[in-house]
Chains A and B, each alone.
Chain A
Amino acid sequence: MKKVYSRPKSLKPTKFHYCPGCGHSTVHRLICEVIDELSIADRTIGVCPAGCAVIAYNYFDVDMIEAAHGRGCAVATGIKRVLPDRVIFTYQGDGDLAAIGTAETLHAANRGENFTIIFINNAVYGMTGGQMAPTTLTGQFSTTTPFGRSEKLDGYPIRVSELLAQLPGTVYIERCAVNSPLNINRTKKALKKAFLYQMDNDFGLTMIEILSQCPTNWKMSPPDACRWMEEVMMKEYPLGIIKDVTAIKGAE
Chain B
Amino acid sequence: MAPKGKIEIDEELCKECGLCITVCRTDNIAFSSRLNSSGFHPASFKDNGKCTGCTLCAVMCPDGAIEVFRA
Chief secondary structure at chain A's binding surface: mixed
Chain B residues with CB under 8 Å of A223's CB are 18-19, 22
Q: Which residue of B lies closest to A215 (CB)?
A: B17
Q: A20 to B59, Cβ gap below 8 A? A: no
The stretch of A76-84, A177-185, A201-209, A230-238 that contacts the partner chain:
A177-185
User: In the complex, are the beta carbons of B69 and A21 less than 8 A apart?
Assistant: no
A20-B6 contact, Cβ under 8 Å, with A5-B55, A181-B56, A226-B19: no
Report, as a range, how many residues of chain B touch the other chain. 20 to 34
List of B residues within 8 angstroms of A24 by Cβ? 62
CB proximity of A226 to chain B, nearest CB, Å: 7
- Interface residues of B, Cβ cutoff 8 Å to A: 5-6, 12-13, 15-19, 22-23, 38, 40, 53, 55-56, 58-60, 62-64, 66-71
A-B contact pairs, 26 of them (CB 8 A): A1-B5, A1-B53, A1-B69, A1-B70, A1-B71, A2-B69, A4-B69, A5-B67, A5-B68, A6-B67, A6-B68, A15-B13, A16-B13, A19-B15, A20-B15, A21-B62, A23-B62, A25-B62, A25-B63, A26-B62, A180-B23, A184-B59, A184-B60, A222-B19, A223-B19, A226-B22
